[in-house]
Amino acid sequence: MTLPAALKFFTLLAVLFIAIAASPEGNTGWPEWANNPQHTGFVEHSGQDIGRKLAQVTYDPFVEQEKLDYPYGDLVVHYQAPLIERDHVYMEFKTGYWVPCDPPTSWEDGAACGPNTWNQEIWNEKGFEWTNDKMVEIWNFQSDWKPEPNGSTGLFGWEPVFHPALTANFLYVPGYGGTIWKVNKANGQPISQINPFGATIDPNKYVSGPLTADSQGNIFYNVIKLNASNPWNSDSVGSWLVGVSPTDASRTVTYGTLVPDAPPPYGSCPYFFQDESTLPWPPSNDAKPPQIPCGKQRAPVNMAPTISPDGTIYTVSRAHFDPLITYLIAVNPDLTPKWDSSMQEILHDGCGVIVPIATHADQPNACREGANVGVDPTTNNWGSAYITDQASSTPTVLPDGSIAMGVLSLYNGGRGHLLKFSSGGTLLTSYDFGWDETAAVYPHDGTYSLVIKDNHYGGKSYGGLYCSFAGNRICRPLKPGPFDMTQLSADLIPEWKFKGMTRNRQNPFGFDWCVNSPAIDSAGNVYVNSEDGHAYLIAQGGKLIARHFLQSAVGAAYTPMALGPGGRMYTQNNGVLFVLGQ
């Protein structure tokens, strides 16, 4: 292509991508992750009561073996939100094979089984139609998509998400080698396989995270290319934000281009203290954290791009080797960079704020006596957003144009932070929880509120400071709880909290809220699911309207909610899709 022709082509693409409104054209259901391009989880109609089970379909037949092959017996899989359009429902279904480990969890030592062979699974998208009050399967599309490979220093057994998106005219499904499929919604037949990288499909490229659709039918998504022989201990080969128009025209931009001021891949970046003999941390008031190679900037594994009403695309980047080197990124509709904002050393709520400063040498779960106030004890720096590939957190564009993003931090018991940024990338405020969640938004009375899960984790891994590093005298595992659903004001101040209703001897403080994307209806009613096996309907003020028992769910996967156009609630439990309503 000659230079003038290329310029004309990309100018045309820019025009195609420029007009983006607040919600997808023809949005009469739940067309993508968290419902809309802003990922607010809000619908402008009333939901139904959840007193009756209307449908139940198993979409993951490997659940029991998946839990057996994970060290703690948990289900560490990220699943698609059901996509809904009028009376039609689209949902992932897994077929193929799960290779059991003998003994269980031997994949951790490199055995060819369990998560190390999840590429032998097959991801399908099924189309359903509500007919005579029954959800009837009408077609099946088998995708060739495969997830990124597992690794003991990469995904740690957490299976990535497979997540299509609906537009007014088509269903788009993740495909193999960085491609996506354009599928006929009526019959599940493929229309085209779109490869933004040319004619040759590269098996080391992976569609990573949910696809996002805008109001004009454009699709945006992330691609990561990994080293074939050593994907996690070698640097990533490349990572791209991709845009595809309804006419299948595409363009890409590298994450390196989007974060030009990031440290070089083989430069040195700060990491966590590693010498357990120096506990409690920080080892001294002037201690410097160890340095590791940064790695290239790339997309997180399970994150969807987010689109504001003015067309700005928001995404997040992290260094391949160092999850502390992270950026919130704004991109113009034509995929040219707008700005990037470092999320390194932006939190000041460590020692003496969230974490007590020790008054004696053996005080557990505390910073060293005399530590600098506000620092992260695991680095002795101000706290940084830790972007992990085991989470599914995605940015949310709020009604005032600001952006909310859930991130991890290790110094507050693995709870992380919900960060709120201005539309120009300035950190405005934060709340002490953000692990694996996309905040839902309830607009009301000229302002808005956000709804999140608010779990206090227990046990050896996350139940106390330093517990995830080693078992020692400075770690005292905490009992789990409390577990709340929390509504925050626009300034991230708690407005109300709701505790789950179930208690038992093993769980006196309740159960983990196993939701990573709540749903909210026009009245502000909140739809969520819990590890106690129930789906919950919670009114404003934190008042219980109803709950419905699905099935036992201890060790449950974090799953997203959806509300259909008639107000039906779609929830998930143990690899089963449940539909609740009247």
Q: For the chain, what percentages of helix, strand and coil (3-state, to nearest 5) are there? A: 10, 35, 55
Query: What is the C-alpha to C-alpha distance for residues 301 and 6, in angstroms, rounded to an integer?
Result: 31
Phi and psi of 410, rounded to 5°? -85, -20
Could you tell me which residue, 3 or 114, shows the higher pLDDT?
A: 114
Query: If DSSP codes are grouped into helix, strand and coil, which group holds residue 461?
Result: helix
Q: State the average pLDDT for the chain.
A: 92
Could you tell me which residue, 348 or 473, shows the higher pLDDT?
A: 348
Please count the other Cβ atoms lying within 10 Å of the Cβ belonging to residue 138. Answer: 14
Query: What is the C-alpha to C-alpha distance for residues 331 and 342, in angstroms, rounded to an integer?
Result: 15
- Is omega for the bond preceding 263 within 30 degrees of 0, making it cis? no
| Predicted local distance difference test score (pLDDT) of residue 460 | 57
Is the pLDDT at 96 greater than 90? The verdict is: yes
Is the pLDDT at 26 greater than 50? The verdict is: no
C-alpha distance from residue 464 to each of 213, 286, 458, 476 (Å): 40, 24, 7, 6
Query: What is the C-alpha to C-alpha distance for residues 173 and 185, in angstroms, rounded to an integer?
Result: 11
Name the band, by pLDDT with cuts 50, 70 and 90, for residue 16.
Answer: very low
Burial class of residue 129 (count of CB atoms within 10 Å of its CB; 0-12, 13-18, 19+): middle
Name the band, by pLDDT with cuts 50, 70 and 90, for residue 17.
Answer: very low
Q: Note the pLDDT tens digit of each residue in 491-538.
A: 999 999 999 887 777 777 789 999 999 999 999 999 999 999 999 999
Q: Which two tokens stand for residue 350?
A: 């460590």
Q: Taking a C-beta distance cutoff of 8 angstroms, is the pair 409, 386 a contact? A: yes
Contacts of 73 (CB under 8 A, 6+ apart): 67, 555
| Predicted local distance difference test score (pLDDT) of residue 471 | 59
User: Which amino acid is residue 124, in one-letter code?
Assistant: N
Q: Between the ranges 7-21, 156-170, 401-415, 495-509, where is the mean pLDDT highest?
A: 156-170
| Predicted local distance difference test score (pLDDT) of residue 468 | 75
Domains of the chain: 14-581 (2.130.10.10)
What average pLDDT score do residues 434-438 get? 96
Name the band, by pLDDT with cuts 50, 70 and 90, for residue 13.
Answer: very low
Is the pLDDT at 11 greater than 70? The verdict is: no
Phi and psi of 174, rounded to 5°? -55, 140
Query: What is the C-alpha to C-alpha distance for residues 313 and 196, in angstroms, rounded to an integer?
Result: 18
Q: Note the pLDDT tens digit of each residue in 177-226.
A: 999 999 999 999 999 999 999 999 999 999 999 999 999 999 999 999 99
Is the pLDDT at 470 greater than 70? The verdict is: no
| Predicted local distance difference test score (pLDDT) of residue 84 | 98
The residue assigned the tokens 């969807």 is 304
Is the pLDDT at 556 greater than 60? The verdict is: yes
